[in-house]
Structure 1
Amino acid sequence: MQRVSSCASLYCRAAERNGEQGGRPMSQVAVITDSTASLPEEMYARYKITMVPYYVHFAGRVARDMVDIKPAEFNAYLLALSEKEDLPKTANPGPGDYLEAFSAAAERAKELVSFHMTSAGSGAYQAALVAKEMAQERLRGVRIEVVDTRNVSMCHGWITLQAARAAAEGADLEFILSLVRRMIPATRMIQTADTLRYLYMGGRIGRAQHLIGSLLNIKPLISMEDGVITTLGVARTRAGAYRRMASLVEKAVGPGGRIRLALTHVAAEKEAKLLQEMVAELVTPVETLFCELSPALAVHSGPGTVGLCYVPEQV
């Protein structure tokens, strides 16, 4: 994995301002997120990120996203579903889930920051705000900031990860919030699906668009604008969709532009690697992550989904 961390010196300067001397600084800020960030699992442990799971209702059971059910098992279940069977349902964490996470995080830090997927597509952000109010009595002296990332998947993930990296280097909460405010409008997601069924069943597109798209076997390109799903057009083939996605990244950051890149997918790792190669021909990824969408997101996009999430290196 290629990685260049240009922000490290900024984090170190922040630590110096906070009076850290020698060695690795102690984190003053605890970072919380939820399972839809779809971060590689090792990142949670490495940067001490508290992950609060969504819930997935399927096959007569309720499973905690990325805890009781992982992508491999869930994707196999989705692939085996017939067209007549109902898709699994998802539910966001409740205030009690976030209060529990805040309480645990408060044992190691007195400043907490909690990141959530777009509030336009989930109730998680509101649930966390309720939990913050509940925590005022229980967690006296603890500051909690709840952030709507206005995005999904690894765009939400990149914001969480960069905040956690800053915290690990000793940055204070104000520094982290300033970083996040710059990242939110600069982080972009582009995704294509192998079928429109899951977008339709999840309420992301209308019935007419679903029927026409299915008949023509087109590949839709979707993104996020101010927290809401938007369409960027369609392609007739997967390769055409990937070329268009790579071109959109180049147009946004310029030829050779330096970005942090995450390739996301649902049971389509080879396709994600193909997209990565196309993007790398046009721009310069300084860090690249491959991430399977969590089951709570996969149910709304379906097997064969391939996407990318990127943020310019300098934000």
Structure 2
Amino acid sequence: MATVGILTDTTASIPEDMIAQLGIRLVPYYVHRGLETLRDMVDIRPDEFVAYLRQAVSLPTTANPSPGDYLAVLQDLARTTKQIVALTMTSKGSGAYQSCKAAVTMFREKLPDVQVEVVDTLRVAMSHGWAAIEAARIALQGASLREVTARAVEVSRRAMMIQTADTLRYLYMGGRIGRAQHLVGSLLNIKPLIGIEQGSIVALGVARTRPTAYARIVQIARKFVGEGAKVRAAFTHVGAPEEAGELRRNFEGVIECVEVIVGSLSPALAVHSGPGTVGVSFFAV
């Protein structure tokens, strides 16, 4: 039995078997598709969403959980634990951190005897997910609230996410690049590479082919962790398991992985880069 309850959101993209095994509680993001409001990873699943995206003429929008969403899960967790660590994706890319903090303020008024710490991971996808996983692991070993919080912060600050999209179409449809960039990039078949630095999504370059993109991802990762480092790595994709496997083979050929996870990005993240996206989130052990 864990000494500390762990709460995070669905954009962490943690595989469901690990969620169950580690006892992590999830708060879903929302995907607005036409007149529908769908709960990420509850009402809409990755495979179904990929099929929808492939034929979409306009993109769904997303919304972070409300304070009420967080409050409901906090209250449920408080039935079994008096200590909770809540982790959110980067506050520089979402309002989830602010929603969670507001929920904790209300929660403390209702249940002042339950201790809650909120961690802004400053990361996205499984670079955020790894922090929740590692926090949950030491909680199961009997770690204190302070130790679990410190581990979550440590891993999130050491983690990195790098991914490449197969096309600029979804970045354009989502308003993240202009029409001219989209036209030129599409003509040149450009594959953008993005990462995260100090909590913000940043461009890391472009590639003309998938193999070139994968080689560049590995090069950036190797520089980030240092020569001879061992890492825990999670390879994520949007409807592209074979491509994720190819990236994994390239990555493991250069960097030693002591643990590997392969899984899908949640729909709330997949909408921003589209089908064919592959990436890796990792940290040195």
TM-score range, shorter chain: over 0.9
Deviation at 1:202, TM superposition (A): 2.9
Secondary structure in 2 matching 1:154: helix
Q: Does 1:60 align with 2:35?
A: yes
Give TM-score scaled by structure 1 length.
0.88
Distance 2:211 2:38 in 1: 35
Q: Which amino acid aligns with 1:170?
A: G
Q: Quick one: which of 259, 266, 278 aligns to 1:294? A: 266
Distance 1:253 1:44 in 2: 27
Conservation of the 8 A alpha-carbon contact between 1:265 and 1:304: yes
Conservation of the 8 A alpha-carbon contact between 1:188 and 1:311: yes
The residue correspondences of 1:84-163 to structure 2 (distance < 5 A) are 85-163=57-135
Query: Which residue is 2:280 aligned to?
Result: 308
Q: Which amino acid aligns with 1:73?
A: E
Conservation of the 8 A alpha-carbon contact between 1:98 and 1:128: yes
Distance 1:154 1:37 in 2: 5
Q: Unpaired segments of 5 or more residues in structure 2?
A: none
Distance 1:97 1:264 in 2: 26
Question: Structure 1, residues 48-81: CA drift from partner, whole Å, max 9, x if none?
Answer: 1110111111153211100111101111111122
Distance 2:96 2:250 in 1: 34
Query: Which residue is 1:13 aligned to?
Result: none
Q: Quick one: which of 44, 48, 54 aligns to 1:73? A: 48
Query: Which residue is 1:37 aligned to?
Result: 12
Secondary structure in 1 matching 2:259: strand
Distance 1:188 1:292 in 2: 17
Conservation of the 8 A alpha-carbon contact between 2:194 and 2:205: yes
RMSD between aligned alpha carbons?
Answer: 1.3
Query: Which residue is 1:237 aligned to?
Result: 209
Conservation of the 8 A alpha-carbon contact between 1:114 and 1:145: yes
Deviation at 1:185, TM superposition (A): 2.1
Q: Which amino acid aligns with 1:76?
A: A
Conservation of the 8 A alpha-carbon contact between 2:46 and 2:267: yes
Secondary structure in 2 matching 1:264: strand
Identity rate, percent: 53
**Number of equivalent positions:** 285
Conservation of the 8 A alpha-carbon contact between 1:78 and 1:303: yes
Q: Which shifted more, 117-126 or 179-188?
A: 179-188
Conservation of the 8 A alpha-carbon contact between 1:92 and 1:123: yes
Distance 2:71 2:178 in 1: 36
Q: Structure 2 vs 1, CA of residues 261 and 192 (structure 1 numbering), >3 Å: closer, same or farther?
A: same
Query: Which residue is 1:183 aligned to?
Result: 155
Q: Does 1:172 align with 2:144?
A: yes
Q: Does 1:28 align with 2:3?
A: yes
Query: Which residue is 2:177 aligned to?
Result: 205
Conservation of the 8 A alpha-carbon contact between 2:2 and 2:140: yes
Conservation of the 8 A alpha-carbon contact between 1:71 and 1:294: yes
Q: Structure 2 vs 1, CA of residues 73 and 175 (structure 1 numbering), >3 Å: closer, same or farther?
A: same
Q: Does 1:264 align with 2:236?
A: yes
Give TM-score scaled by structure 2 length.
0.96
Q: Quick one: which of 236, 254, 261 aligns to 2:226? A: 254
Secondary structure in 1 matching 2:231: strand
Deviation at 1:284, TM superposition (A): 0.4
Distance 1:252 1:63 in 2: 37
Q: Unpaired segments of 5 or more residues in structure 1?
A: 1-25
Conservation of the 8 A alpha-carbon contact between 1:255 and 1:282: no
Deviation at 1:197, TM superposition (A): 2.1
Distance 1:153 1:184 in 2: 11
Question: Structure 1, residues 139-165: CA drift from partner, whole Å, max 9, x if none?
Answer: 120111111110100001000110011
Q: Which amino acid aligns with 1:29?
A: V
Question: Structure 1, residues 93-131: CA drift from partner, whole Å, max 9, x if none?
Answer: 100000001000111111111111111111111000100
Conservation of the 8 A alpha-carbon contact between 1:256 and 1:282: no
Deviation at 1:206, TM superposition (A): 4.2
Distance 1:185 1:27 in 2: 24
